Amino acid sequence: MFLAIRELKHSKVRYLLIGLIMILVAWLVFIISGLANGLSAENASSIQSMDADHFVMESDVEQKLNRSTLPMDTLNEVRSSTGVDGAEALGQMMSTFNKEGTSKKTDVTIFATDANGFLAPNIIEGKSYDNKKVGDIVANDSLKEEGYKIGDTLVDESSGTRFTIVGFTENQSYSHTPVVYMNVKGWQGINPRLKNTDAISTIAVQMDQGEEGTLKSVSDVELITKDEMLQSIPGFKEEQGTLTMMIAFLFVIAAFVLAVFFYVITLQKTNQFGVMKALGASNGYLAKSIVGQVFILAVVCIAISVALTYGVTFIMPEGMPFELSTSLVIQYSLLLLIVSVLGSLLSLYRVSKIDAIEAIGRVA
């Protein structure tokens, strides 16, 4: 470690340039990761936050929530099935609401469920809707940024039905639109596919631990996991797949860049390593020196990139979806550190092959 620190101090410009590249790569990894998580939350936070393990959907609808329609009687069948700890009906549809008295229009996703069930939204302002009274809704707090407030009247564009905002919830988005909660009766009245029939879109299920997740006693339905439900959201899988691939390539690029830089530096120092070997330095000692340099450089650069990432969040636009948890930062920091060390392995191989006599220019 003494040799590693001494060389870092001696060749400041060389390692400063390498460190700058490492900072930029790590910074890009954290920024893209934050955007990926932010887009994921904006696309599916309403499903991600649901206290449910599985969802019961109509069979032969390719697990698409907007295509599924189940008779309300199915809810009782599911609740009485073996292995089911709890079940709640959930209605879903996309709609456009007009703010009464203005020309303002907002695209929303409507979720309908029991106001007293485990799918009911957490109220952060105002009150919840009522199961019997049609017309009260709870909206995601992102609508407050668009000028909506408690007491505003919204008109459903397709049916002309009026609704009043009675409360706000948070972190409820679906397919990049804010979620509006109401009771099942109100949702059935405005859904053109139902024509006032007693039906719902899906049933959220809490399974007993240890159960495999099957409903053999209920016919014409499909039981899917929460992850499968998320993957079926339009654009979710493609969006997350693209961003994940970008992050993976950044890790690969980081490994190659570091490998090339340190290999070139090792070639430049061949004579020095040869002299050190002639003086008795072992391959292990030289390897520790190289790994020590990479480790110190990587730790400092990753720490700087983390600080830059959190700093840039303060100047990001208000509506930009960005979410970066501490656990993810730690996980990616460790991965970057591992990738950095792995990138130095090529240099270690080169050092082990250096012949002391040839390196210092003597003829055997």
pLDDT in tens, 173-183: 999 899 999 99
Q: Is the separation of the CB atoms in 223 and 164 below 8 Å? A: no
Question: Which sign, positive or negative, has the C-alpha torsion 200, 202, 204, 208?
Answer: positive
Question: Between the CA of residue 161 and those of 155, 156, 188, 290, 335, what are the distances in Å?
Answer: 6, 5, 12, 71, 53
Q: Is the separation of the CB atoms in 181 and 121 below 8 Å? A: yes
Q: How far apart are CA 118 and CA 124, in angstroms?
A: 16
Encoded tokens for 171: 């972190």
AA letter at 37: N
Give residue 5's pLDDT: 63
* Mean pLDDT, rounded, for 46-57: 91
Report residue 143's pLDDT band, with 50, 70 and 90 as the boundaries: very high
AA letter at 301: C
Q: CB under 8 Å, gap of 24 or more: what pairs does 196-200 form?
A: 198/71, 198/72, 199/69, 199/70, 199/71, 199/72, 200/69, 200/70, 200/72, 200/75, 200/89, 200/90, 200/91, 200/112
Higher-confidence residue: 347 or 4?
347
Of 94, 91, 183, 108, the C-alpha closest to 142 is 108
Q: Among 11-15, 124-128, 222-226, whose mean pLDDT is lowest?
A: 11-15
Highest mean pLDDT among 152-156, 157-161, 230-234: 152-156
**Region for residue 303 given its phi and psi (left: phi exceeds 0; alpha: psi -120 to 50; beta: otherwise):** alpha
Q: Is the pLDDT of residue 364 over 50?
A: no
Burial class of residue 334, CB neighbours in 10 A (0-12, 13-18, 19+): exposed
Q: What is the dihedral of CA 263, 265, 270, 273, to 10 degrees?
A: -100
Give residue 156's pLDDT: 92
Report residue 211's pLDDT band, with 50, 70 and 90 as the boundaries: low
Highest mean pLDDT among 242-256, 260-274, 344-358: 242-256
Give residue 137's pLDDT: 95
* Mean pLDDT, rounded, for 156-182: 93
Q: Among 91-100, 127-136, 275-284, 341-350, whose mean pLDDT is lowest?
A: 275-284
> In 241-253, which positions are buried (b, 16+ CB within 10 angstroms) versus exposed (e)?
eebeeebeebbee
Give residue 136's pLDDT: 95
* Mean pLDDT, rounded, for 308-323: 84
Q: How far apart are CA 268 and CA 239, in angstroms?
A: 44
